[in-house]
Amino acid sequence: MKVWRRRRFAAYADPGPLTPAQVKALREKAERVQSIVIASSLLGSAIVCLALAGLFWWGVNPHHPGLVIWCIAAAAILFVSLGYALHGRELPAVITMFVVSWISIMVVVAEVSAALSIESHLFGIAVLSFVLIRRELPLLRIGLAGGAIATYLVCELRWPEGHGASELNSEIASQFATANRVLAGVLIGAALVLSEMRHRNMMRMLRGAARYGELRATTDELTGVYNRRPVIAQLAEWAQRGRGNYAIALIDLDHFKTINDEFGHDCGDTTIRAVATTLRHHFRDSDMVSRWGGDEFLVLMPGVRHADLEPILDRLRAAVTSLETPCAGHRHQVTVSIGAAMGAIGQSPDECIAAADHALYRAKEEGRNRVVTVGTARPTGALGRPDPDELEEGDWATLPLLRDNL
């Protein structure tokens, strides 16, 4: 029971992101299933017509030659329509199947009255019109369903039970009626199941495509980590709530331009991806690792203590230093410079990012491949990085960044 429940709820769970190619593949699969259902319906209807022809000629007494002729003609029309469907002309084939079904049921009811309950199949045919006709043709679906219901009303009002031209005896008619009601129920159930499968597949494609769009909007395509948007949104939310218990680290690859110039941008992309993977494995699930631009990453760490910040980042620096990236027949090693700052209540996100940027600048000035952290910073109103000669020892005032640069 528990396994069944898990499978049941898993079927309705939100799917993972689906790329345009995956959505296209699912759509093509759904179209193939649709074609199989249409061909099966046409073939099944033709076989039923032939079975009725044999039944009305050999299975009942008196014989019904008119019904036999019509059933054979209807089967021939359906086989021709099946050929059209197999060659890609499904819509006219389906419409033909519905019209032939209506006429066949009316002919049977007119000949042997409503005692056979064959008109009950019209309810299943009405539901089936919403399965076999595509959503792009709503008026046609409604028209075919309405035609089936109208045929049922005509049969009930024009030829009620006991008013057929050549009725069967009551015992045979009762057996026919029972079988027809059972088959009508099976037809309705099958149509509903097919409709639910189509709806579920459509929802899976829509939700998967939406999830993929969200992922593309918030994820860096090269590395798979966040881009700027979700980080900026999270910082704005924390600033609105007055939260300050977080840290921001800016991580920049040292001498990355040399790798691009000497070995090409493909090698540079490989190196960036390798560093991004190391970052993802190093930080917690609650931390937000983002590619801030080019060879620079930003990590947003909520709930981290200032005393723990530098050891955490120094372990990351060591992990990146030990990383070897095979590329163009060489194994490259890369180092990173890291600047980090603690957020504080009342401090804007721009100020905290500026403080981390300032610390990163200091790490590069002090020789790279090192970590520099600063505490709560006060805004100065300055723009850009300051001249190091103008700063006093320990005076690491932050610089507000313009949001347009984010």
Q: Is a pLDDT exceeding 70 seen at residue 127? A: yes
269 shares its domain with 372: yes
Whether 191 is in a domain gets the answer yes
257 shares its domain with 177: no
203 shares its domain with 280: no
Across the chain, what does the average pLDDT equal? Answer: 81
318 shares its domain with 190: no
Going by their DSSP bridges, the two strands 336-342 and 371-374 should be labelled as parallel
pLDDT tens for residues 227-272?
A: 988 999 898 888 888 787 899 999 999 988 888 888 888 888 889 9
DSSP helix, strand, coil percent of the chain (3-state; round to 5): 65, 10, 25
322 vs 66: which has the higher pLDDT:
322
Band (40; pLDDT cuts 50, 70, 90):
very high
53 shares its domain with 193: yes
Whether 187 is in a domain gets the answer yes
Q: Give residue 251's pLDDT.
A: 95
Out of 181, 216, 251, pick the residue that ends a domain. Answer: 216
Structural domain harbouring 111: 2-216
Average pLDDT over residues 135-145: 90
Least confident of 211-225, 302-316, 329-343, 375-389: 375-389
276 shares its domain with 240: yes
67 shares its domain with 211: yes
Least confident of 68-77, 341-350, 380-389: 380-389
CA distance 357 to 384: 10
Out of 169, 191, 216, pick the residue that ends a domain. Answer: 216
Buried b (16+ CB within 10 A) or exposed e, 364-395: eeeeebbbbbbebbeeeeeeeebeeeeeeeee
Q: Is a pLDDT exceeding 90 seen at residue 356? A: yes
Q: Is a pLDDT exceeding 60 seen at residue 89? A: yes
Percent of the chain clearing pLDDT 90 (strictly above): 32
For 58, other C-beta atoms within 10 Å of its C-beta total: 10
237 shares its domain with 210: no
CATH number, residue 346: 3.30.70.270
**pTM, to two decimals:** 0.63
Whether 58 is in a domain gets the answer yes
CA distance 205 to 18: 7
CA distance 103 to 176: 19
Whether 284 is in a domain gets the answer yes
Bridge partners (DSSP) listed for residue 372: 339
Q: Give residue 59's pLDDT.
A: 64
Bridge partners (DSSP) listed for residue 324: 333
pLDDT tens for residues 144-174?
A: 999 999 999 988 888 776 565 566 666 767 7
* 150: nearest Cα among 190, 132, 123: 123
DSSP 80-140: HHHHHHHTT-HHHHHHHHHHHHHHHHHHHHHHH-GGG-GGGHHHHHHHHHHHHS-TT-HHH
7 shares its domain with 147: yes
Domain count, the chain: 2
Task: Please give the helix or strand (H or E) that residue 325 lies within, else none.
Answer: strand 324-327
Whether 154 is in a domain gets the answer yes
Band (359; pLDDT cuts 50, 70, 90):
very high
Average pLDDT over residues 312-339: 87
131 shares its domain with 252: no
333 shares its domain with 244: yes
Whether 296 is in a domain gets the answer yes
Whether 222 is in a domain gets the answer no
Percent of the chain clearing pLDDT 70 (strictly above): 83
Task: Give first-to-last CA distance, the chain, whole Å.
Answer: 52
Out of 170, 196, 216, pick the residue that ends a domain. Answer: 216
Whether 158 is in a domain gets the answer yes
164 shares its domain with 282: no
